[in-house]
Chains A and B, each alone.
Chain A
């Protein structure tokens, strides 16, 4: 009895120690990104004093707000071991449709324009979800296909024309730029959505199910989780948030073009992956993604400030994602070694 007890206690101790290690390392990891951000901030502000001003910081926040919203959607999809490459085309199509409605009916209440965007996005997202779950098509193929389908619909819809700033109502343009609460609405939207997603993933049953489906689909199925429904849900959420982002995009850039948000899907994946979301599913946190998006935003901003030509910025971004995933790999290997 005694021996058993002590053994049990030792085991307990060991497990708590392990979770302690895990927690510490996870903290260290987000601290790692923070450290990179801090170093970058110091270096850039030495070269360009304009960097450390409130105005510039607000600029960065404005620039990453839409990225944050869509990256959070992408993160939920990635956690289920999926990927949504169609977010950019959803943004393009929804922005175009909403902008056309606003041009046609300038009196449309902004609130219903936002709802319309979300509804359209959700329908498009559910197309992905249905094809992936009930059609058994691998996510990367399904969303690759729907990316070109939705983008083709943009061209078919607009006949190659676009909506200019003067064709949009003034109050719609203020949707993203207005500052009734002190901060630009865009930033507030991003913060609210980040908080919602954080609580959804952490404290709701469905949120936990998303992690379960991603880390071990078979086990999740045996545990009574309806994996199909969970997957369908994340693609619908991805569509919903992309639809919302589309409305904000049209409002912020005061236009809707046929190539709106072209290539944006890769930025969302980049922000998620830098933020520690695993493309093989089951792992990823909201704070990590926020830091990932912030890092991307700071890099873009600072490359401009230190007068590195726009042409090299994309190369720098690509290099950054490579460095991030390589260091991530080594951190994970170290964790494994410590566990042993």
Chain B
């Protein structure tokens, strides 16, 4: 009887709790659907603009361009769900690949070299995990330090040299296709790992612990969640996967340079956040992140077909990132305005802001036109 009572009570209390955040929670639930809608829109627009967009060969080739980002995104989702961050992933990937390249240049067997690269990357993850999990330093500061440290080691290993001439057995991991199909090996690897990571996040105790840490770390500690151990593990995992991504990048390019993958950490975080993950932790899903990776990939591919510079492409992604977070907030903001009195002061402020930015862009385009004319 008692059990029945509590069961009857529970839904009501849940509804009462949720009522407050009704608009926000529904938005987050529909976030993945919004991504699906955006993906469809991007595909439709691009197929209209370019006949090469829906070409299977093109899609197959371009998809492998995003697999390093995708791979690094998987552990990043874990880390962001706990409310932490790892800025060192791209540097770690450069470090591991450079170390492998150094050994390869010295004549070491490629598989031994690759294994050593994986080991070094994992060690990098151990360093991050130790400092964040055990020493309890802020993740942002730690990974900012290792961001420079790992990249510096990459330059230290290879200098201004590049490692080249990897054997074809190795480059298969970056360039090969699975069993004569059009699916690149790296895409297949990503798909398998994404499903694995998704299952861990959504179907295991470990995954629940990640959300618990992200929602309220202190509460998680007092509920007996081994917080520092879990943090340590996800950073080690991140180090290992980053190294793996580094090897795949090296295999895809057929060479390694110490600046490989510079700046990719921003793409990784962008993909994760656009996928509906809250940077403060506790919210988001793996399939949301995977969908946003697909969206960014298709968007960049389409822009590439239209000969848009890659820097302008990342500008569009940056805008998308900010707008995707601004929009839900503004929707709730605007719906609350109706109830309040409209104040002249705020209208004046908005007008002033609009005028200032208009002036900025007027100047921007005016001076740019002069520049273009002179060129």
Q: Which residues of A contact B (CB under 8 A)?
A: 83, 97, 100-101, 103-104, 120, 123, 126-127, 130-131, 135-138, 140-142, 144-149, 151-161, 258, 266, 269-270, 273, 279-280, 309, 311-319, 321-322, 325-326, 329
Contacts and interface: CB of A to CB of B under 8 A. Distances in A.
Interface string B344-375: 00000000010011001001100110111011
Contact of A318 (B152, B159, B309, B321): B152
Interface stretch (B51-59, B62-70, B143-151, B162-170): B143-151
Contacts of B159: 309, 311
A149 B319 contact: yes
A152 B315 contact: yes
Given A140-B85, A144-B321, A315-B149, A279 B138 contact: yes
Main secondary structure of the interface of B (DSSP, over half): helix
Contacts of B312: 152, 155-156
A149 B152 CA distance: 27
B196 interface: no
6 interchain residue pairs of minimum CB distance: A152-B315, A315-B152, A318-B149, A318-B148, A314-B152, A148-B318
Contacts of B131: 322, 326
B31 interface: no
B81 to A, nearest CB: 15
Contacts, number: 174
B89 interface: no
A241 B88 CA distance: 28
Interface stretch (B102-110, B112-120, B211-219, B322-330): B322-330
Contact of A130 (B146, B149, B318, B353): B353
Most chain B CB atoms below 10 A, which of A137, A138, A312: A137
B298 interface: no
A258 B311 CA distance: 10
A317 B311 contact: no
Contacts of A101: 367
Contacts of B280: 138
A162 to B, nearest CB: 11
Contacts of B315: 148-149, 151-153, 155-156
Interface in B233-286: 258, 266, 269-270, 273, 279-280
B140 A318 contact: no
Interface of B: 85, 131, 135-138, 140-142, 144-153, 155-156, 159-160, 258, 266, 269-270, 273, 279-280, 309, 311-319, 321-322, 325-326, 329-330, 353, 356-357, 360, 363-364, 367-368, 370-372, 374-375
Contacts of A313: 152
Contact of B367 (A97, A138, A325): A97
Contacts of B353: 126, 130
A21 B136 CA distance: 24
Contacts of B137: 325-326, 329
Contacts of B269: 144
Given A138-B280, A144-B270, A145-B318, 15 more contacts: A97-B364, A101-B367, A104-B370, A104-B374, A147-B266, A155-B309, A156-B315, A270-B148, A280-B138, A311-B160, A312-B155, A315-B156, A317-B148, A318-B149, A321-B148
Contacts of A319: 145, 149, 152
B309 to A, nearest CB: 6
Contacts of A316: 152
Contacts of A317: 148-149, 152
A309 B149 CA distance: 15
Contacts of A97: 363-364, 367
B356 A148 contact: no
B144 A137 contact: no
B258 to A, nearest CB: 8
A135 B325 contact: yes
Given A144-B269, A321-B144, A315 B326 contact: no
B322 A142 contact: yes
A145 B317 CA distance: 8
A273 B141 CA distance: 8
Contacts of A312: 152, 155-156
Contacts of A157: 364, 368, 371
Given A155-B312, A156-B315, A135 B153 contact: no
Contacts of A315: 148-149, 151-153, 155-156
